[in-house]
Amino acid sequence: MGNSQKKAPGHGEGGGPHSQPGTPGYKRSHGNNTANSKEVQGKSPAVNGTLPAGKSQDEPQGSGPAHSGTAGASCNLDAPCGALPPPLARLKNEGNMLFKNGQFGDALEKYTQAIDGCIEAGIDSPEDLCILYSNRAACYLKDGNSADCIQDCTRALELRPFSLKPLLRRAMAYETMERYRKAYADYKTVLQIDISVQAAHDSVHRITKMLIEQDGPDWREKLPEIPKVPLSAQQHRKDEPSAEVLQARAARAEQEKARKAEVRFTLLKQEGNDAVKNGQFQGAVDKYSECLAIRPNECAIYTNRALCYLKLEGFAEAKHDCDSALQIEPNNKKAFYRRALAHKGLKDYLSASTDLQEVLQLDLNVQEAEQELETVTSLLRESLLANSQGEVSLPTRDKN
């Protein structure tokens, strides 16, 4: 089978796929080891729309038909399995039975023996070998050995590209190891193969939040390349989505859009605040303006931008922003105070005085407002005096 058949030494918890009893790194599991498994978010998602009724994603691929009897003998261990010869088919069936009974370590040994047998016999059956690697990966995933799970899933995908179960299991292992970008890429590939896999939808939604927090608004640029799945590998291509599915997609799209906008708004606001601290008022104006394009009813952004306009001596613009803020919050002290400063800059001392009195009616302890009121009152008196002294009487004409 070429390089894809060669078993490299394993890594991570539990030793390599070819570790044998008595060799370094070998770890045998007995019984039900689900308590030790690091499953994604504490649950193993089902693969909707891709498995026959009555089966779940946790079941190994190629399970044999059920026969009457006890749980320990409920499988036909001699059932044929693809192109595998009877001894190897029995090993696979034994592994499937052990997996179903929660004996993941013992199942892993059976799958390993079957894989080794295929390689030694030179069996040319990529499909059967792919299933064996994928089933052994499921054992590793159950035992919390994400590294070897990823290795086996990758080998399975080399044998049969775009096989759904290895992709899904590898995505879960990547997520368990917090390798969120690779997990995202695999989940998105799964959805190209079968859009109905709800577990992949849920995981993409969850990981997107983590990547936004981790990498910021440009998180998509840091993703690995997501392969384009050929039509021949896609499932349910001809199925028309139901109205409920379309509605759910639209709702998810709206949620995604709102989440992106919220992240963008928060980032822009912080950048604006940082620019103000650094005295870069025009840059801050630009950032706050972008914020308002996203959320036009955010009162604090109007008062923040008004402050920047005051620093830039754009008094008319500052007044306009304070007017907008007061329409949203009629008792906003900052808006009244900064509008007073804008009126002062425009030499409308009477309006400035009125706004400062509003501030003091809302809070008598605003010392800046008291000081500004004294200054504005003085300027108002000077203005009125100058106007009165500037009045000139018209000369009277002599009557002839």
- Per-residue pLDDT tens digits for 158-190: 999 999 999 999 999 999 999 999 999 999 999
Q: Is the pLDDT of residue 201 over 70?
A: yes
Answer yes or no: are the C-beta atoms of 98 and 107 closer than 8 Å.
yes
- Say which residue the tokens 């796929």 belong to: 17
pLDDT band at 239 (very low <50, low <70, confident <90, very high): low
pLDDT band at 390; cut points 50, 70, 90: low
Q: Nearest to residue 42, comparing CAs of 176, 138, 139, 137? A: 176
Query: Residues 153, 165: contact at Cβ < 8 Å?
Result: no
| DSSP labels, 42-105 | GS----TTTS-TT--TTSPTTPPPB-SS-GGG-B-TT---TT--HHHHHHHHHHHHHHHTTBHH
Q: For 130-154, how does the pLDDT look when each residue is reduced to its tens digit (9 = 90+)?
A: 999 999 999 999 999 999 999 999 9
**Rg (alpha carbons) of the chain, rounded to whole number:** 36
